[in-house]
Amino acid sequence: MEKLRFSICLRCRLIEKRSKTDRVDAGVIREMAVRLDLPECPPEPKEVSHLKALQLRRRQLFEDAKREKIRLSQTSDKAMRASVGRVLRLLQREIDSIETAIARCIASSEELRDRAALLRTAPGVGPISATALLAEMPELGTLTPRQVAALAGLAPMARDSGLRTGKRRIGGGRKTLRDVLYMAGLSATRNDPSLRAFSDRLKANGKAPKQAIIAVTRKLLIILNAMIRENRPYQPT
């Protein structure tokens, strides 16, 4: 966001705009897109927008339930525990309702249904991670390996300064999607022989266990991107 603001301010100076309003910002962004010949983004399909809203609501309800469970562990008062229990039951009913709506949304769209079935053939990809990919990365299948890793925040970023070589770390991107994919990568490491062997090689070369899982997650996402692009199920390597 800071880089975008800096770019807007720089463009304002280059095209001699002295004011700073939303209308000016919008015009500068449009002018920048025209001069850089950026590709147009097609409008998001209605079913994807609806799925994205459902996915967001489910995540919110899970976070609320997590907080209530913490509160339950922090009190021994019977009345308070009963109150938390009622809230948890209400949240679970809402979660069940949202998950039913998610399944109905995917089933009603041939494209979403086919993509979900394809994604589910990969190790570690269950209904939650498949839904997250459909809702939060509709670009899947149209990106290069480097682009898809960067978009999920799974690409190591250089942090060098002068003569100092900083430690590469992942960051940025779509964090909520990255969190879901990390669990998928962890499951894939345990259940898929080829990805487990990849993880073992990394750890044998000195990588920490968590670094190895992140690398597996990145590799899995690149595989999923190729699967959608080529319309083929998962093939162990």
pTM metric for this prediction: 0.77
How many other C-beta atoms are found inside a 10 Å radius of the C-beta of residue 182?
19
**Residue whose pair of structure tokens reads 């149209």 in the numeric block:** 142
Separation of alpha carbons 111 and 98, rounded Å: 20
Instruction: Please report the DSSP string for 187-225 in residue order.
Output: HHHHH-HHHHHHHHHHHHTT--HHHHHHHHHHHHHHHHH
**Residue whose pair of structure tokens reads 């997650």 in the numeric block:** 217
Domain boundaries, the chain: 46-108, 136-157+170-230
Provide the token pair at 195. 């990805």
123-172 pLDDT, tens digit per residue, is 999 999 999 999 999 999 999 999 999 989 887 765 556 666 656 666 67
Show pLDDT as tens, one digit a residue, over the chain (237 residues): 555 554 545 455 555 555 667 887 788 777 877 787 777 777 888 999 999 999 999 999 999 999 999 999 999 999 999 999 999 999 999 999 999 999 999 999 999 999 999 999 999 999 999 999 999 999 999 999 999 999 898 877 655 566 666 566 666 788 899 999 999 999 999 999 999 999 999 999 998 999 999 999 999 999 999 999 999 999 877
